[in-house]
Amino acid sequence: MDPKTAVGFLLPLAVGVAALGSGLGLGRAVGAAMEAMGRQPEAAGKIQTAMIIGAAFIEALTIYALVAVILIK
Amino acid sequence: MIRLLIPLLLAIGQTAQEPAIDSASMVIEKSSGQTASHDTGVTAEQSSEQGIGETAEHATNQATGHTAGPTAGHGEESAPPPELPNIIEIIHLKYKNRLTDFLFAWRLVIFSSIVWLVLGFMAFIVFRKRTLIPGPLQNFLEWVVEMLSNMVVSILGDEGRRYVPFVGTLFMYIFCMNIMGLIPGFFSSTSKLNTTLALALCVFLYVQFTGIRNFGPLGYIYHLAGSPKSVVEWCLVWLNFPLHIIGELAKPLSLSLRLFGNIAGEDMLLAIFVILGVSVMSFMHLPIGLPLHLPFIFLALLTSFVQALVFALLATIYFSLMSHHEEESH
């Protein structure tokens, strides 16, 4: 396998691995937020804001991988 | 941190040396990259102009050649990512002169200027004719402003009201730029790192200015050193200080890269599915395609909104980190 093939093969895989991690993290975060909202519906607004910020941080990791892949390609 | 810096440096280098003509022929060139091997006599410029002339059909034929071998691209040098054509690009491809060259080089600024002109015009009209019983437009704008104001105040408290104009403008500006990519013939300026980096630098500078204003110059350095109080904390200043500085520098980086990556990825996804939709219908030789990208438009709407919201929210959070009453939030 020449280097270019290896890169073409591995770069999408890298995004996939990053997305796997983010997906697990997002699942936990959103699940916990939903549970909290269910327990305290009156605090739903605040929880949602915090959840979106956290989700953005988690999601950013995948986006970094995506940006790196786009730039390295 | 270093891992974060590398793509940024790469990106800056890439955008700096990106020749105008090269990216001009984006979609068509890209798909014609494969067919260029067929008709070697035709230069790249000619083939791209041809492609623009008879947009759908030509692109279709090229796209089918493209889809025949999914891994065909890896042998050649990497093509730029697919992107839907916009008005300025098409004009630039059709009529090449100095004016269109200029327009093309400044397309990010032009498309973002359209956004602020429209927003400003709307605000101007409403402000000129404001009434106690609001009309539809005034009602809508009041609702938007109230929502943004509530969002900022819920995080920063009542004294955060002074950041509402900045954060609210950021949100509306970024949101409009994001959804601009969904309008045919336009593209979102935020799908290029230049725009997002500029926005993030604005936030960064304003946040640092706020810190200096709130704490004073010495207090600002004290804050960056982690606000040491006990002897142990004073002993750890040499560790805390660089960490805080790196943390501050990472903020604009992560802000800009997040917005850029999300919007660029979303637009790329749309472009790929448009190309797929066109190439699926190519056997009929009609200038139409299947709207395969339809579900992703809704996804793109969601992403546009969430990313604009996240940008504004994070700016608010950075302001809250730089104000007095939230010392514990590190």
Condensed to tens digits (0 to 9), the pLDDT of residues B80-107 reads 667 888 888 888 888 888 888 888 888 8
Domain of B105 in residue numbering reads as: 20-28+42-67+78-329
Q: Distance of alpha carbon B258 from its chain centroid, rounded?
A: 9
CB–CB contact A49 B11 (8 Å): no
B90 near A CB under 8 A: no
**pLDDT tens sequence across B242-284:** 888 988 898 898 899 889 988 988 888 888 888 888 888 888 8
Q: Is residue B11 part of a domain?
A: no
- Kindly identify which residue of chain A lies nearest to residue B303, measuring between CA atoms: A56
Q: What are phi and psi for residue B185, nearest 5 degrees? A: 90, -10
B6 lies in some domain: no
Q: Is the ipTM here above 0.90? A: no
- Between chains, do B310 and A53 touch, taking CB under 8 Å as contact? yes
Q: Where are the domains of chain A?
A: 3-72
Rg (CA), chain B: 24
| pTM of the complete model beyond 0.90 | no
Selected for mutation to probe chain A from B2, B14, B174, B254 (highest A CB count within 10 Å) is B254
Rounded Cα distance, B223 and B322, in Å: 9
- Measure in Å the smallest separation between the Cα of B155 and chain A Cα atoms: 9
Residue B73 placed within a domain: no
**Residue A10 at interface with chain B, using a CB cutoff of 8 Å:** no
Q: Are B155 and B316 in contact (CB under 8 A)?
A: yes
CATH topology of domain A3-72: F1FO ATP Synthase (1.20.20)
> CA of A53: which chain B residue's CA is closest?
B310
Residue B172, pLDDT score: 93
A53 vs B: CB within 8 A: yes
Per-residue pLDDT at B325: 56
Does residue B33 lie in a domain region? no
CB A67 within 8 A of CB B261: yes
In a domain, B293, yes or no: yes
Residue B37 belongs to some domain of the structure = no
> What is the rounded distance in angstroms from the CA atom of residue B295 to the CA atom of residue B297?
5
Contacts of residue B81 in chain A, CB cutoff 8 Å?
Answer: 70, 73
pLDDT in tens, chain B (330 residues): 334 444 444 444 444 434 333 333 344 444 444 433 343 333 343 444 343 434 444 443 444 334 333 333 343 445 666 788 888 888 888 888 888 888 888 888 999 999 999 999 998 998 888 888 888 888 899 999 999 999 898 888 888 888 999 999 999 999 999 998 888 888 889 988 899 999 999 999 999 999 999 888 898 888 888 888 888 888 888 888 888 898 889 889 889 988 998 898 888 888 888 888 888 888 888 778 888 888 889 989 988 998 999 999 899 989 988 886 544 444
| B86 at A interface, C-beta within 8 A | no
Per-residue model confidence (pLDDT) at position A57: 82
Q: How many domains, chain B?
A: 1
With an 8 Å Cβ cutoff, is A1 touching chain B?
no
